[in-house]
Homo-oligomer: A and B are copies of this chain.
């Protein structure tokens, strides 16, 4: 007799297999903790006075990290009576005294120290003692409270679910709270699994989410509608009320795109015939140059590639946001100029960044509609109208509440406009990339890294829409 397994049982089996692959081995986890405790005891030998306490915090400490992550976060919490400058200086001196290594000082909202020691990426963050739902001196002060809250509540099974969830989100490109991703942070993953009891519970719920979605673990806003709670948090599409700070949205970084991806992904995995595929990488298929050319011809659009060398000493955390920012700025500038973009993408390989832009229009129209200021700003309107006293082919007239004129412009191609932008000061190219962007010739676009980026771009697809 054949037994039909429930969907939950099918998924649990997949989660289990995934978990075996992503969970650090016991000896790996033990070594990590042992290493962390050793650093702590050294620091305590010089810092353990005046009520200062050192915490080992983060996914490594809570067993919610993925195998291969070698991040150790140590928080040195000082009494609030100290000044910020003082605790930074004191932490610095303590590190110098007892933790030999190549330490660098970084600045987030708060300064912190970073070094790679015995293969671990160690971060030591000075902060102040904090109490739940009381004012804090700095965002990092919350971390020990989060650690305390989650460590007390997450079961072993839920910790496994957090690890599996992280891989699921990574594969769909929505893991990480950094601006370039706008996705789900590790802490958020833990809150979500805790709230919905399990990954399966979370997936079941998120498949029928409609924003604004409010997750209020501690029932801090019991009588407010989701819309009301979302309004309190600047209209965020997903609000996860921070259990240790009722005024903070632990999901503030999640864009409506990331939320849509996760909800759509959840719907799909619930009916997929091959749920394991959701955890596999989705490598792109490289197109033949002739195939790529044919596809572009069929699309009837214009595609241009730019490239810029990445200085060898830069780490990904530094150059990646800069490359993304440059691509975004160029895309906006092209749209402002009048090109209708189909899309854009970028990729960093072999010490250089490649940027791709696809436009419906190869050339700008001859006619250009220039929107001026709203009529309410009389002086600006006057300036606009006299600045366009010559060369106007139609207007000035009012469109909506703004003054506008129509001008003629030279025929400008997408390639010309990109070349111009590369040597203009309109674009913020990021501190380390500078004005070194160059157009990629057609020949180079259809080989090597150019062809790879084209292949990725032309086969863009949310994989879960077809993996039933």
- Using CB atoms and an 8 Å cutoff, list the residues of chain A in contact with chain B: 207-211, 237, 256-257, 259-261, 263-264, 267, 295, 298-301, 340, 342, 360, 365-367, 369, 374-376, 378, 381, 385, 393-403, 406, 408, 458-462, 465-466
Q: Give the chain B neighbours of A256 by CB distance below 8 A.
A: 400-401
Stoichiometry (number of copies): 2
Q: Give the chain B neighbours of A342 by CB distance below 8 A.
A: 367, 369, 406
A298: nearest chain-B partner, CB-CB: B408
Query: Complex: how many Å from CA A240 to CA B430?
Result: 50
Determine whether the beta carbon of A462 is less than 8 Å from that of B398.
Answer: yes
A260: nearest chain-B partner, CB-CB: B401
The listed residue (B211, B298, B365, B393) touching A376 by CB distance below 8 A is: B211
Chain A binding surface, main DSSP class: mixed
Closest beta carbon of chain B to A376's beta carbon, Å:
4
Determine whether the beta carbon of A400 is less than 8 Å from that of B257.
Answer: yes
Query: Complex: how many Å from CA A237 to CA B374?
Result: 13
Q: Give the chain B neighbours of A400 by CB distance below 8 A.
A: 256-257, 260
List 13 contacting pairs A-B, 8 Å CB cutoff, sorted by A. Answer: A209-B376, A211-B401, A260-B398, A260-B401, A261-B398, A264-B381, A267-B378, A301-B365, A360-B365, A360-B367, A394-B460, A397-B465, A403-B465
Determine whether the beta carbon of A298 is less than 8 Å from that of B393.
Answer: yes
Determine whether the beta carbon of A367 is less than 8 Å from that of B401.
Answer: no
Closest beta carbon of chain B to A18's beta carbon, Å:
23
The listed residue (B210, B257, B261, B397) touching A461 by CB distance below 8 A is: B397
The listed residue (B210, B299, B385) touching A408 by CB distance below 8 A is: B299
Contacts A257-B401, A264-B403, A360-B365 supplied; 18 other A-B pairs, CB < 8 Å:
A260-B374, A260-B375, A260-B398, A263-B376, A298-B393, A300-B365, A300-B366, A301-B366, A301-B367, A342-B367, A394-B458, A394-B459, A394-B460, A395-B460, A396-B462, A396-B466, A397-B465, A403-B465
Determine whether the beta carbon of B264 is less than 8 Å from that of A461.
Answer: no
Closest beta carbon of chain B to A260's beta carbon, Å:
4
Closest beta carbon of chain B to A55's beta carbon, Å:
38
Specify which of A301, A374, A401 lies most central, judged by the most chain B CB atoms within 10 Å of its CB: A401
Query: Complex: how many Å from CA A161 to CA B400?
Result: 28
A388: nearest chain-B partner, CB-CB: B465
Q: Give the chain B neighbours of A381 by CB distance below 8 A.
A: 264, 267
